[in-house]
Structure 1
């Protein structure tokens, strides 16, 4: 069950399910149709899918049919996991999220990892003997990997209970799958079939538009014409048995002794899935489907493609972890500062007045200081664009500078209060969130520059490298206010348009996406600018330790930094161009915002 609840799942699965629907689907399966086995994974929603399954199922509880629920979940060997301890921690996390003491069947999600598969099988055997795993499973393993996993488990007196692989009529005739099936039969490993209906490729609902969006079709380089003969056979059998095409495919899977897994996301889909139970295709019909099956197995993909996929999954899991940290910090913030929510409007309004007054005072003092103190401007040695004052009235200058520092501190304190209020309210329009990001980048850089300049003036600390870097960063983020104005104007203009439903319009979906792209490209450009400033402060003398140990890497890093900087720069201005075009081409039909991937 891929029932994650995070914003990443909202994007990847084109919407999240509500708790009530998930509970209804589980009741339909368990109470009406007697389904026992439920599959999930820590990688689905960063563990939130496991939490949701716990909320709607009571593990181990007997159903009306007398059989207990069986729950399987998976360990994902990401590139951040290398030890048996990481396996044990992941297992404990899954047990906690599912509310159980032991997992019924714990799968190793993929065999692709720099460490051999046997390493994780040994870890699973240790946990099985400790009573935290009842059965060991593997997933996405070919014939050779099945035999290796079984051999390792037998060394510990245990077995591999199941192999979860893609098993359907799209791949049944592939040599790789047939060899894997033989290896599983030899070692008495149960096949658990995911994608038994080919992610919708083998159902009545398939259209040309849906075909282009199905990941499995792209992964296997499948074209629509190749499906016609197979779909015709499935459709004729569906008419013969009075069943749907999906039910024919699922029953075919059962007839081959495999357990089908269907990712269910609606009650209609749940009822249709359960319709494959209680009857069997004839042997002749199974054989006919076997003859017409295709050879598009994912087990035959080159290893480098699977490595790229695992790398992507590692980054996705890291994204889930960041999302978890953000949620935790937000919950703590709400818990420790309820008084701020009650007085938020008054506090923020006061902060706005303080910012305006501090900005005016700071500008006035900065303008008056050279005249009042009779100071002369001088260029800081070693620079061409950083200036300082030279005056004989040092005490008066210190007083004027102190007033400027206090006003600057008040300005940034007010900005922090306003930003904290905006970031706490997560239910904001998209343009508000983007403007918050841009404003945050802008003020963080200016605040850090203010601190460095102040430290240099108040002490003898040499802050010139930091000041140069932050001055460059200040120039980089100088476009942020204009970007914010562009986004606001684009949304205000769209708001004047009325959609066919009579609602206020929003920018087109692609325009909202490019607003996100511009914002994140600006952040990446800022990060590159700061990293570049740090790297250039390193000693360049060929005899220095830095150049001796990492000279070539340092030169290559500088080249890479420059490439990334210019790529992000082009991305920002290209995104601005797209948003500008969208501003003047928006219509009532397009102003619904449909098709937006990020927004």
Structure 2
């Protein structure tokens, strides 16, 4: 199967990417061999965009991805991110976007990844203590130095996007977007399209919830246990969304996860979701969703079943760094 391509600004990528975070953290124990096999299977299937970050597994994920692509670097559009200070001190949940740190973080990522350039470099969050112009200015210098090809922002608000784009072209905004997280719709999405910024939705499957495979009995080290939507009554209320998706998916002959992913994929030719998985089985299912064609009626029905979601997507503290 050959995936079609889309553009994030001027950067051409596969219409669906692969989020690699879960290979190193958050969703249970890591399995290096299966993770590397999954990355290679993704490349074999035509996925070109691989997404990681320095903070994922505190460097482990960049090293893993770097190892996996060592002999296939030319096939990969490699995206990584900087900004969370946990990479320096696991107890520090803050962010840094000052020029000195941007350059230090990039050099550290290049070393862990084992590459001489990063194709798409994101500021993981906008630092509230640093003008976004300073952060993006430093990223622009990395482009000039040949260490980075294109730059992006993650979870940035409309004003930050406009200010950033005035300094250097922004190729992509990576933010959470799915049937149960639609915060970017409206001003943020409109701003991206006015500025020619592509959209890279992470967690397009609602952190796995929309697949219908999750239960409340999550492993002790699964970070979804800390998220309001996955707890108690919220879980029960939100599962009604999954039940409705299952009914629609059955009519169309697909899985509920594929239906949810196809909905995101259908939101525009400038949208490149990066569903995360660390297993080849789920990878094949996700990739198949990239070519599902949904009618206007299908899309309307899918949107209508999403309904009101119970609970915030992050803790109150984590939400402070969203849409900065």
TM-score (norm 2): 0.79
Structure 1 residues 238 and 127, CA gap change in structure 2 (3 angstroms): same
Deviation at 1:293, TM superposition (A): 3.0
Conservation of the 8 A alpha-carbon contact between 1:41 and 1:49: yes
Task: Identify the structure with the greater helix proportion.
Answer: 1
Check if 1:260 corresponds to 2:273: yes
CA distance in 1, matches of 2:219, 2:245: 17
Deviations 1:196-230 (A, max 9, x none): 11112212213343499735751698713432553
Match of 1:107 among 118, 122, 144: 122
Deviation at 1:305, TM superposition (A): 4.6
Structure 1 residues 46 and 206, CA gap change in structure 2 (3 angstroms): closer
Match of 1:125 among 140, 145, 162: 140
Other-structure match for 1:188: 196
TM-score (norm 1): 0.44
CA distance in 1, matches of 2:120, 2:198: 12
CA distance in 2, matches of 1:288, 1:140: 28
Conservation of the 8 A alpha-carbon contact between 1:211 and 1:224: no
Check if 1:244 corresponds to 2:255: yes
Other-structure match for 2:8: none
CA distance in 2, matches of 1:236, 1:3: 28
Other-structure match for 1:37: 49
Deviation at 1:53, TM superposition (A): 0.7
Conservation of the 8 A alpha-carbon contact between 2:80 and 2:120: yes
State the secondary structure of the residue aligned to 1:160. coil
Identify unmatched segments of 5+ residues in structure 1.
Answer: 63-67, 154-158, 310-599
State the secondary structure of the residue aligned to 1:280. coil
Other-structure match for 1:51: 63
Other-structure match for 1:28: 41
How many residue pairs end up in the alignment?
289
CA distance in 1, matches of 2:179, 2:201: 11
Deviations 1:139-163 (A, max 9, x none): 011222222222232xxxxx10001
**RMSD of aligned alpha carbons:** 3.0
Deviation at 1:239, TM superposition (A): 0.8
CA distance in 2, matches of 1:165, 1:295: 20
Deviation at 1:261, TM superposition (A): 1.4
Conservation of the 8 A alpha-carbon contact between 1:59 and 1:100: no
CA distance in 1, matches of 2:205, 2:192: 22
Check if 1:205 corresponds to 2:217: no
State the secondary structure of the residue aligned to 1:275. helix
CA distance in 1, matches of 2:164, 2:78: 22
Greater relative contact order (CA < 8 Å, ≥ 6 in sequence): 2
Check if 1:161 corresponds to 2:174: no
Structure 1 residues 97 and 35, CA gap change in structure 2 (3 angstroms): same
Structure 1 residues 182 and 27, CA gap change in structure 2 (3 angstroms): same
Conservation of the 8 A alpha-carbon contact between 1:112 and 1:307: no
Question: After the TM superposition, which residues 381-530 of structure 1 pair with which residues of structure 2 at under 5 Å, given as runs?
Answer: none
Conservation of the 8 A alpha-carbon contact between 2:228 and 2:313: no
Check if 1:278 corresponds to 2:291: yes
Deviations 1:519-544 (A, max 9, x none): xxxxxxxxxxxxxxxxxxxxxxxxxx
CA distance in 1, matches of 2:67, 2:226: 30
Match of 1:73 among 80, 97, 104: 80
CA distance in 2, matches of 1:251, 1:306: 27
Task: Identify the structure with the greater strand proportion.
Answer: 2
Structure 1 residues 135 and 273, CA gap change in structure 2 (3 angstroms): same
Deviations 1:214-261 (A, max 9, x none): 357516987134325532332122112221111111111111132111
Deviation at 1:60, TM superposition (A): 6.2
Deviation at 1:284, TM superposition (A): 1.2
CA distance in 2, matches of 1:201, 1:240: 20
Identify unmatched segments of 5+ residues in structure 2.
Answer: 1-19, 86-93
Conservation of the 8 A alpha-carbon contact between 1:140 and 1:299: no
Deviation at 1:131, TM superposition (A): 1.6
CA distance in 2, matches of 1:199, 1:54: 24
Check if 1:17 corresponds to 2:31: yes
Deviations 1:32-61 (A, max 9, x none): x21111000000122221111111113764
Structure 1 residues 301 and 147, CA gap change in structure 2 (3 angstroms): farther
CA distance in 2, matches of 1:145, 1:85: 20
